Amino acid sequence: MRLWSLHPSLLDRRGLVACWRESLLAQKVLQGRTKGYRNHPQLTRFRRMVDPVASVGAYLAGLADEADAREFTFNRGLVVVPPSTAVPPARMTVTTGQLDHEWAHLLAKTAGRDPAWHDRLAAADRVPHPLFDVVPGPVEEWEVLGDR
């Protein structure tokens, strides 16, 4: 599961579709509707929020907005926004180190599967998902790194 902190516009087609599917799975996990993935580290930052399901719903909305911009069809009806959410969920933070880590990871993934997209990324700015505010710091402690 990879819930990118990077802006959805930076994800190639396969990355955007995979992120949508994995975020829908995250939504089910946070609702307690699955047996697997309950302890997945990518969910840590959503669980820290006052309303984790609303937060992942806002995350999914950002992905759906990008899908709309590309004329893809993502079913927004699958996004759960609890009735108790009268106001948008609180913004989330992501560290500069996490963005750098994900940027390198995305570049490595696209180099093999979509060289044209990879070349486009080389000239792009590292912009976060619309839900996130960037703060200084290292790679997030929940990120799984091979050398930790």
Residue-wise pLDDT tens digits, 15-32 = 999 999 999 999 999 999
Amino acid at 109: K
Q: Considering only CA atoms, which of 86, 106, 142 is closest in space to residue 12?
A: 106
Dihedral sign, Cα of residue 65, residue 66, residue 67, residue 71: positive
78 in a structural domain? yes
- Residue 141 falls within a domain, yes or no? no
pTM: predicted TM-score of the whole model, two decimal places: 0.90
Q: Under a CB-based contact definition with an 8 Å cutoff, are residues 20 and 123 in contact?
A: no
Query: Total structural domains in the chain?
Result: 1
Domain membership of residue 2 (yes or no) is no
Range of the domain at 59: 8-135
Neighbours of 29 (CB within 10 A): 24
Q: Say if 98 falls within a structural domain.
A: yes
> pLDDT digits over 29-71, tens only?
999 988 767 778 889 999 999 889 989 999 999 999 999 999 9
User: Is 140 inside a domain boundary?
Assistant: no
Task: Answer whether residue 63 is part of any domain.
Answer: yes
Token pair 């089910």: residue: 28
In the chain, where do the E strands start and end? 92-95, 132-135
